[in-house]
Copies of this chain bind each other. A is one copy, B any other.
C-alpha cells in the first residue's frame, strides 16, 4: 500500500507512458520531495499501480460513455493520515492539502494536460490486516523498514529491528 487503481479508456496511454505514470505516482510517497512535503518516504515497492482499460461500452459516467474520463481509486492504510499529521504538527486538512499538490503534479501531464476529466478518492484499510509476503510490515522509520526500503523488497525481521 498505497494501491492505486486507474480506470482508463483502452489505449489511453502507451506502455512507456504507463511506466512513467506509475513512477510519478510512486514518487508521491517516496523520495526527498515526499519527505519535504508530507514528511515521510515509503519503501518504493509499497506502491502498486494497476491500469484497468475499458472499451467505451463498459465504462459509463452519468449513464453515458465519456471517453475522456479517468477514475482513480486509491487504498491507504487507515489512520496513517492522522498519525502523520500529528507527527508533522499539522492538521489532517493541512497534510491533505500538501498531498493533493503532489497528486496533482503527478497526474498533470497524463490527465489535466491531455484534457481528461478525473474523479479520485481514497479508501482505507486497517493496518492489522495488511501483510507483505506473509509478514506484518515493520513500523515506520524502524530499522527493518529501512532495510526493506534499501532492498526494495521484504525480509523477515526480529523484534529488535522494529524500533527506530
Interface residues of A (CB under 8 A from B): 1, 3, 7, 15, 18-19, 22-27, 30, 43-54, 57-66, 69, 71, 73-75, 77, 92-93, 96, 100, 103-104, 107, 112, 117-126, 128-134, 152-154
Contact = CB atoms under 8 A, between A and B. Distances in A.
Q: Copy number in this complex?
A: 3
B49 A66 contact: no
Contact of A60 (B48, B52, B104): B48
A18 B51 contact: no
A63 B132 contact: no
B58 A53 contact: yes
A49 B71 contact: no
A48 B26 contact: no
A35 B104 CA distance: 34
A62 B152 CA distance: 8
